[in-house]
Amino acid sequence: MLSLREMDVFRRVMELGSITAAANALRISQPAASRLIKQAEERLGFPLFLRHRKRLIPTTEAKALFPETIGAFAAIDSVHRLAGNLKAGQSGMLTIATIPALANVLLPAAVQRFRVARNGVSVRLLAVSAHESAMLVAEQRADLGLIIGPMTHSDVVMSDLCAVSLGCVLPKKHPLARKTELRPSDLQGETLIGLSPHLPLGVQVVRAFSEANVPLHLSIEVTQTTVALALVRAAAGVALLDGFALLGGNSRGDLVLRPFKPAGPIVARVLHPRHRPVTRLAQEFSGILHTVVREMGLIRLKAKPRA
């Protein structure tokens, strides 16, 4: 097995035609270059050059070996370039596991800004449930995750990103749209659209109706806010959703969101793996997320780590 130094001298001699020229190119002495060629021949068990009248003539074996040597150094150069790009954050892949609600609202602007700064980096977005997001981060198959609501996982660290209010989405001309806020009693008799009572948002809705001593009946249960918005537009009912819902789904301006009381805030959280340092790319993306949140006018929360 040749050392890199021996291969380098061999390559230079093949390219430049003499040991003296190779030594000059490598900034080593001519005797050192000759010694390295001799070592290479001893390792290989065959001569690389024939000496004829102070000239070096490559052997058949040397001619066969030379293209492979060039390929090896090209690969080494490629590794060095990639390592430099990774160090500068200009290459690699950032994988984000996020719930669909946040994928539609916060991520488009954040990904666009991130790609402007790191156009050599690929971004992979996985739209999954909050539980799946935590699992992917914990198993180090995602660099960071985005969820709404609480989550407990021993292999994940959470930090609060921002908060919105729970609200009721209505058609703009709905009679209840005239109110500044809505309570469970206001929604009696309405066809309610909502997320599963087993999800964090659904739990808040169930609690609010229970505390108000008002029966809760979800006429239409959905798994994604975009579906709920489409149903409201189709006059199928009114939807109890988080404030993120309208941020990315009301380009027509035909829907309104009224705060639903007495429900508390809906918190968006960032997930990182507990047992691996946060990557440079994930750190930078998290910073961009906080900037996007600020510019959108959302309630920013201190990035306080949570177990």
Span 93-161+266-306 CATH architecture: 3-Layer(aba) Sandwich (3.40)
Q: Is the peptide bond before 273 cis (omega within 30 degrees of 0)?
A: no
**Which pLDDT band, with edges at 50, 70 and 90, does 146 fall under?**
very high
pLDDT in tens, 70-107: 888 777 766 665 566 556 555 578 899 998 888 888 89
Burial 158-188 (b: 16+ CB within 10 A, else e): bebbbbbbbbbbbbeebeebeeeebbbebbe
More confident residue, 117 or 97: 97
36 and 9 Cβ atoms separated by less than 8 Å: yes
Place of tokens 């999800």: 199
More confident residue, 3 or 285: 285
pLDDT at 204: 83
- Average pLDDT, rounded, for the chain: 85
Region(s) of the chain under CATH 1.10.10.10: 4-88
Using alpha carbons, select from 173, 179, 181 the residue that is nearest to residue 259: 181
Span 166-264 CATH architecture: 3-Layer(aba) Sandwich (3.40)
pLDDT in tens, 121-139: 889 999 988 889 999 999 8
233 and 172 Cβ atoms separated by less than 8 Å: no
221 and 196 Cβ atoms separated by less than 8 Å: yes
**Which pLDDT band, with edges at 50, 70 and 90, does 251 fall under?**
low
**Which pLDDT band, with edges at 50, 70 and 90, does 306 fall under?**
low
Span 4-88 CATH architecture: Orthogonal Bundle (1.10)
pLDDT in tens, 196-239: 877 777 888 888 899 999 999 999 998 888 888 899 999 999 99
Region(s) of the chain under CATH 3.40.190.10: 93-161+266-306, 166-264
